[in-house]
Structure 1
Amino acid sequence: MPASSGNGAVTRSTLRQQIADALRDEVLAGRLQAGQEFTVKEIAEQYGVSATPVREALVDLSAQGLLDADQHRGFSVHRYSVEDFRGMIEARSLVTEGMFQALDDGHQRYRDLDDPRTAAAVAGVRRRGEEARRAAAAGDLTVLIGYDLRFWRELNALFGNPYLADFLHRLRVQSWVCTVQHLRGVTDLRGRLWCGHSDLVKALSEQDTVTARAVVVGYNSHALTLIERLAAG
């Protein structure tokens, strides 16, 4: 939980980020559900902090597309549609394709895979992918989301433009919020969640962008099909 605003060791900006992170996790876990409304005062009382960092955190989450702000009613969790999800997949695909093309072209921003530090970073991403695979196989959505977001962020940092990596991370958070909203009520997720993380790391480590593209296309197709079926069902 965020520390009290009276604690001089915690700056307001740090407290603001802690509150934003905590609320984002609540949304990702489905504990704050689509359309659920709350006020700055309610969140401030919940966390035992002053209104200012809470208001700033809520504005930040609104800017990220996770919350809707209403001047008179406060804030509510944004409700994502299937069409929203299609737009996210399309945007992710366009950015990822640009990153693959730059890798094909041997752009200098990509780190030397023979460098020991890079090799260690790749090993870390591979471990994250393996944890995500296990969580997906077990149907453990909460654990999967945590590892999946870390996996993609670290992978994109290795193989892509850091500015695009930040953009993709925001899209993936939105994608997971949308997914959680549509998965609510599904009791058994075993075998229904994508788990090809390790295949993607292997392909990129070998600079095999043909296979990497195929893995990402399969991932996007799987995710979109799942959401469309849940929405229709």
Structure 2
Amino acid sequence: MPVSDGPAVTRSTLRQQIADALRDEILAGRLSPGQEFTVKEIAEGYGVSATPVREALVDLSAQGLLDSAQHRGFRVHEYSFADYRAMIEARSLVADGIFRGLADDPSRAPRTAVDLAGVRRRGEEASRAAGAGDLNVLIGYDLRFWRELSALFGNPYLSDFFHRLRVQSWMCAVPHLRAAGDLRGRLWAGHCELVDALVNRDPDAAHALIASYNNDSLSLIEALTGR
């Protein structure tokens, strides 16, 4: 049974709540790459019927987080280092496009310090968690930071795609990061500098920060996997 005591789930948005809860279990490392489970096990763990669980698992499979294991249910997808490198490249291209678009087109979104106060708060929390090596807090705030920042571009399809990439890249990194022990000072914490680059309409500064972030992420996972 992958989830011993599932959180209380109401029936209003059951499918999405179950999908979100299982995604959090994966990112927290409580569901490991390759781990298998059935619809029945998840339904019993959350005390709900099988239908919304099956729908949630199908949704997570479509997002690349789970694989359907024929006659056995589902398993947590196992990503390779090559997958991680490709994700880093993809998210770099998307982030660069977002920042250049926001800098070049004033009509897309407001970008004053006041308008970006919420994004900055997420960035501050993410930076603090990174400095403390608190992976659980960092992942939550980092995903919210990038989701809200990418939403400024005004293209929900791009924002959703970028969010999925970031979830997948965290999923790749989590097993290695959790096995590393003390992460203080080893995790990227430049979120607020990115907000400053956006306020200043400086895509070159944003590009340099994103490149640094991605290089640091790759180097860290390479070191942790002995590559």
TM-score, length-normalised on structure 1?
Answer: 0.90
Aligned to 1:183: 177
Aligned to 1:102: 101
Shift of 1:79: 1.0
Is 1:91 equivalent to 2:90 in the alignment? yes
| Aligned twin of 1:206 | 200
In structure 2, the residue corresponding to 1:69 is in which secondary structure?
strand
> Are 1:219 and 2:213 matched, yes or no?
yes
Correspondence 1:81 to 2:87: no
Asked if the contact 1:41/1:51 (under 8 Å) is kept, the reply is yes
Displacement of 1:226 in angstroms is: 0.9
The residue that corresponds to 1:43 in the other structure is 42
Kindly provide the CA deviation profile for residues 157-210 of structure 1, in whole angstroms up to 9, marking residues without a partner as x: 124533211110000001111110222322101011100001100011110111
Q: Aligned match of 1:111 in 100, 109, 124?
A: 109
**Aligned position for 2:188:** 194
User: Could you tell me how far apart the structure 2 residues matched to 1:129 and 1:74 are?
Assistant: 38
What root-mean-square deviation, in Å, do the aligned CA atoms of Structure 1 and Structure 2 show? 1.6
In structure 2, how many angstroms separate the alpha carbons of the residues matched to 1:161 and 1:226? 32
Shift of residue 231 of structure 1?
A: 1.4
Tell me if the contact between 1:2 and 1:18 (Cα under 8 Å) persists in the aligned partners. no
> Any conservation in 2 of the 1:2–1:15 contact (CA below 8 Å)?
no
Q: How far apart are the structure 2 equivalents of 1:121 and 1:78?
A: 38
Matched, 1:228 2:222: yes
Correspondence for 1:7: none
Structure 2 partner of 1:172: 166
**Is the Cα–Cα contact under 8 Å of residues 87 and 165 in structure 2 kept in the other structure?**
yes
Q: 1:76 is paired with a residue of what secondary structure?
A: strand
Q: CA deviation at 1:94?
A: 1.8
Q: Does residue 27 of structure 1 match 2:26?
A: yes
Distance 2:209 2:197 in 1: 9
CA offset at residue 37 of structure 1?
0.7
* Counterpart residue identity of residue 68, structure 2: A
Partner of 1:124: 118
Which runs of no fewer than 5 residues in structure 2 stay unpaired?
1-6
Aligned AA (1:208): D
Between the two proteins, what is the percent identity of the paired residues? Answer: 68
TM-score (norm 2): 0.92
Q: More displaced, 43-52 or 159-168?
A: 159-168
CA distance in 2, matches of 1:101, 1:203: 11
Give the secondary-structure state (helix, strand or coil) at the position aligned to 2:187.
coil
Aligned residues: 221
Map 1:63-82 to 2 at 5 A.
63-82=62-81
Structure 1 portions without partners, runs of 5+: 5-9
1:99: how far off? 2.2
In structure 1, what residue type is equivalent to 2:128? R
Q: Secondary structure at the match of 1:224?
A: helix
Tell me if the contact between 1:2 and 1:19 (Cα under 8 Å) persists in the aligned partners: no
